[in-house]
């Protein structure tokens, strides 16, 4: 449960981080953290290739957010999910390993051929997962990297672009024609922006609209309380969703954790939380791992409930540096 992670993970990780920072130099802890982040994506990446090959293996499924009870399933001939329950969950976990690759590449802390090879394999698994969330977030990440290169050195950026652009165009055209699991990749990606493209998008947009309606009606001042949104949200489902499809005690899952926080905290308290987080992050050094971590955590939060995973809390192990002190502790 997500609340257990708050009460268990945060104290435990703060204790471990304090020990590490007091025992080793901050720079050493940072290097080990980023390397571990890179390597952590290898096992789930291999799992996706095994699943895609049709060999498969057994997975435990137990996802309360989707009203799923404990069961063991043999993953043969199904859509790949890595070591998770959903393809979007897999790319969510893999993305932070990809972020580790980016920072390891920038700081030259690992052999570049190894990083490039892993990045390529990671991207292949994102494509064959046909996760719309994953495709969109990886495209945004690629755009961010390109923008930073553009800001850094305009001339060198255009030289690289003129050389690599034809290769990228050929790759993009080739990928756009792929058909995976009965879906054309291009059509699959653009269906993200169509409310009625399939049952998944219908429920995603319906859940987000219901949360917005709940916020407008009840939460402009005071929120419902943590996890209490589920006791109200069914009353605010839009007309295109069938309320009868949810049994007694069942509610649509939250597909937008940001909207969920506004509903549970209330608008004023949620705004204080987000503004305070932005002010705190602005104090960190320019273009640091910590900023990218929370920027993309926020973007993923627009698609599902990110606190179901340990990922948001792991960043506590990464020691921050400032200009005036060796380590800036989390508050």
Mean pLDDT of 249-257: 80
| Whole-number Cα distances in Å, 311 to 4, 6, 215, 259, 317 | 14, 12, 27, 20, 11
Helix (H, G, I), strand (E, B) or coil at 25: coil
Q: Answer yes or no: is pLDDT of 322 > 60.
A: no
Lowest-pLDDT range of 49-58, 268-277, 295-304: 49-58
pTM of the model: 0.82
Mean pLDDT of 1-13: 78
What per-residue confidence (pLDDT) applies to 323?
36
Neighbours of 33 (CB within 10 A): 20
How much of the chain exceeds pLDDT 90, in percent?
31
Q: What is the pLDDT of residues 135-191, one digit of tens each?
A: 889 989 988 887 777 777 766 666 666 666 666 666 666 666 777 767 777 777 677
Measure the CA–CA gap between 130 and 188, rounded to whole angstroms: 7
What per-residue confidence (pLDDT) applies to 326?
42
| Whole-number Cα distances in Å, 52 to 78, 119, 204 | 8, 18, 26
Task: Say if residues 54 and 76 touch (Cβ distance below 8 Å).
Answer: yes
């Amino acid at each position: 449960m997500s609340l257990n992670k708050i009460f268990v993970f945060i104290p435990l990780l703060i204790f471990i981080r304090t020990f590490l920072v007091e025992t080793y130099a901050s720079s050493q802890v940072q290097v080990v953290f980023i390397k571990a982040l890179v390597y952590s994506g290898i096992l789930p990446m291999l799992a996706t290739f095994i699943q895609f090959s049709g060999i498969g293996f057994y997975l435990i499924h137990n996802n309360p957010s989707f009203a799923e009870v404990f069961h063991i399933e043999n993953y043969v001939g199904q859509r790949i999910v890595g070591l998770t329950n959903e393809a979007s969950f897999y790319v969510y976990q893999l993305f932070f390993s990809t972020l580790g690759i980016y920072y390891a590449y920038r700081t030259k802390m690992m052999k570049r051929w190894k990083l490039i090879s892993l990045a390529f394999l990671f991207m292949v698994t994102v494509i064959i997962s046909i996760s719309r969330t994953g495709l969109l977030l990886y495209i945004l990440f690629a755009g961010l990297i390109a923008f930073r290169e553009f800001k850094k050195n305009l001339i060198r950026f255009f030289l690289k672009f003129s050389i690599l652009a034809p290769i990228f165009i050929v790759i993009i055209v080739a990928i756009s024609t792929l058909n995976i699991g009965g879906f054309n990749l291009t059509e699959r990606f653009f269906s993200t922006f169509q409310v009625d493209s399939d049952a998944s998008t219908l429920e995603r947009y319906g859940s987000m609209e219901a949360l917005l309606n709940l916020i407008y009606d009840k939460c402009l001042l005071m929120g419902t309380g943590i996890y209490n949104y589920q006791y109200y949200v069914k009353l605010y489902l839009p007309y295109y969703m069938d309320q009868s499809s949810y049994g007694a005690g069942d509610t649509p899952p939250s597909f937008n954790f940001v909207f969920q926080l506004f509903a549970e905290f209330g608008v004023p308290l949620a705004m204080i939380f987000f503004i305070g987080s932005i002010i705190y992050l602005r104090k960190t050094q320019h273009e640091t791992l910590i900023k990218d971590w929370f920027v993309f955590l926020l973007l993923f939060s627009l698609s599902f409930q990110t606190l179901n995973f340990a990922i948001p809390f792991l960043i506590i192990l990464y020691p921050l540096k400032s200009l005036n002190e060796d380590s800036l502790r989390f508050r």
